[in-house]
Amino acid sequence: MPHLHIASFKAPAFPLSVDGVTFDYAAQNILHKDEKLIAATIEDKSFFLLLKTLPDKILLKADKISRPSPTHFVKRALLAFAKAADLNVLASNIDSAEINRHLNDKSALWSIRDFEQNFPTDREVRVEVGFGSGRHLLHQAECYPDILFIGIEIHKPSIEQVLKQINIRQLNNILLLDYDARLFLELVPSNLVGRIYVHFPVPWDKKPQRRVINTAFITESIRALYAGGKLELRTDSDNYFAYSFATFMALNQNHIEIFKNRALEISSKYEDRWRRMEKNIYDVVMHNEEISKPLETIAPFQFDITSVDSDTLETLNGKTLRFDEGFIHFERLYKTDGNHFLFRLSMGPYERPEHLYLSLNEQPHYLPAPPVRSWSNLHAHRQLQKALNG
């Protein structure tokens, strides 16, 4: 990812703007003086730059939780801040090229807020989780122009490559999202989706709790799929296949098809490589036969507090609160020169927590955006309010 190595750092006077980028404040990690956050805004993107002091230099890069897509925003912010703060740059991996012209149109790149506020329901939807190079997603969209395809991916270079292809091919039936697919499904209206593709997910053999396929994901998939819709898993992992098959069969609904080394119309470059290596490819296809109840609407999360005692915040720093539906981990506490506090949080259910910031300046609010409005996140939000109230 884009970054700069600088010789030293002296905070400029905030707020400041340069080259279309606004920097509102810097926040110091309370416990670790070698780390700062710098709040940046470009157009409608708000995020943090991370300043990390190393033994022989200082690293300036984008904070991974709030980092926007495409990465051009990060490059602009880094170069703008170096200019505004008159930084002595020792090394940089940022090229001087202008943004690729095929990335100028970002209308296909949606945020989770876009889906939360206005989920498209005017036609059949198909969802691909972890689209990678985008071969399958782009092929499907070209074959079925009347269907809306939503591609979910957290690897930002893959998002940019597919966004370029969407614009080059002038496709108007693909939306891209940089988000956790397990959380996204909780926003999908019931009985809307025709297919959910999960092709070659990371097996996570050592951290099975991070797997996309689990009971909660399948349950949400069943609700989102219309009767006759399908959830399709494709994997080269023997362990993932065995685990997923057992997970599917443990549910009441078990209309399952199994395929081994099935040839599809289009394959990824990784699948091509695995076939050359004579690895087995497994497909598990679940046919949905249920008509689900409509998705219940949850009101936006609000805080009924206006200020929090600083001693309470410092007591919570580093602590983890656990409850039946999940947890809240108060990872890191930051403070600005103006006594504005920020908490970096992990919160929600254990298997799919949200990672975000909580701003405690006047009216508390989440950054870069509130958690997805799910029941488990609502419960975590209420537990957070209790903790902040002491």
Q: Quick check: 88 and 35 in contact, CB under 8 A?
A: no
103 pLDDT more than 80: no
Q: Mean pLDDT throughout 12-34? A: 94
Q: Quick check: 14 and 28 in contact, CB under 8 A?
A: no
What's the whole-number average pLDDT of the chain? 92
Side-chain half-sphere CA neighbours of 343 within 13 A: 26
> Helix (H, G, I), strand (E, B), or coil: what is residue 369?
coil
For 41-69, how does the pLDDT look when each residue is reduced to its tens digit (9 = 90+)?
998 899 999 999 999 999 999 999 999 88
- Other CB atoms within a 10 A radius of the CB of residue 144 amount to 15
pLDDT at 369: 87
User: What distance in Å separates the CA atoms of residue 241 and residue 279, rounded to the nearest whole number?
Assistant: 13
Q: Mean pLDDT throughout 368-386? A: 92
97 pLDDT more than 70: no
- Other CB atoms within a 10 A radius of the CB of residue 105 amount to 13
Q: Mean pLDDT throughout 66-91? A: 91
Q: How confident is the model at residue 99 (pLDDT cuts 50, 70, 90)?
A: low
> Helix (H, G, I), strand (E, B), or coil: what is residue 147?
coil
> Helix (H, G, I), strand (E, B), or coil: what is residue 89?
strand
pLDDT at 89: 92
pLDDT at 96: 65
Q: Quick check: 138 and 151 in contact, CB under 8 A?
A: no
State if pTM tops 0.95.
Answer: no
25 pLDDT more than 90: yes
Q: Is omega for the bond preceding 208 within 30 degrees of 0, making it cis? A: no
DSSP character at residue 100 = P
pLDDT at 357: 97
pLDDT at 173: 98
pLDDT at 305: 79
Q: Which residue has the tokens 């209790």?
A: 386
For 190-224, how does the pLDDT look when each residue is reduced to its tens digit (9 = 90+)?
999 999 999 999 998 888 888 999 998 999 999 99
Q: Are strands 148-152 and 174-177 parallel, antiparallel or unpaired?
A: parallel
Q: Quick check: 42 and 99 in contact, CB under 8 A?
A: no
32 pLDDT more than 90: yes
Element (H, E) at 161: helix 156-169
CA dihedral 130, 131, 133, 135 (to 10 degrees): 160
- Other CB atoms within a 10 A radius of the CB of residue 363 amount to 11
Burial of 136 (0-12, 13-18, 19+ CB in 10 A): buried
E strand intervals along 88-224: 89-92, 109-110, 125-129, 148-152, 174-177, 193-199
pLDDT at 229: 97
pLDDT at 198: 97
DSSP secondary structure letters along 252-292: S---EEEEESPPPSS--HHHHHHHHTT---EEEEEEP---P
Interacting residues of 239 by C-beta distance below 8 A, sequence separation 6+: 203, 205
pLDDT at 95: 77
What distances in angstroms separate CA 262 from CA 134, 229, 265, one per listed residue? 19, 20, 10
- Give me the CATH topology for the region 108-287: Rossmann fold (3.40.50)
Side-chain half-sphere CA neighbours of 34 within 13 A: 8
Nearest C-alpha neighbor of 131 from the set 108, 115, 114, 113: 108
User: What distance in Å separates the CA atoms of residue 265 and residue 278, rounded to the nearest whole number?
Assistant: 19
pLDDT at 242: 95
For 317-354, how does the pLDDT look when each residue is reduced to its tens digit (9 = 90+)?
999 999 988 999 999 999 998 888 999 999 998 888 99
274 pLDDT more than 90: no
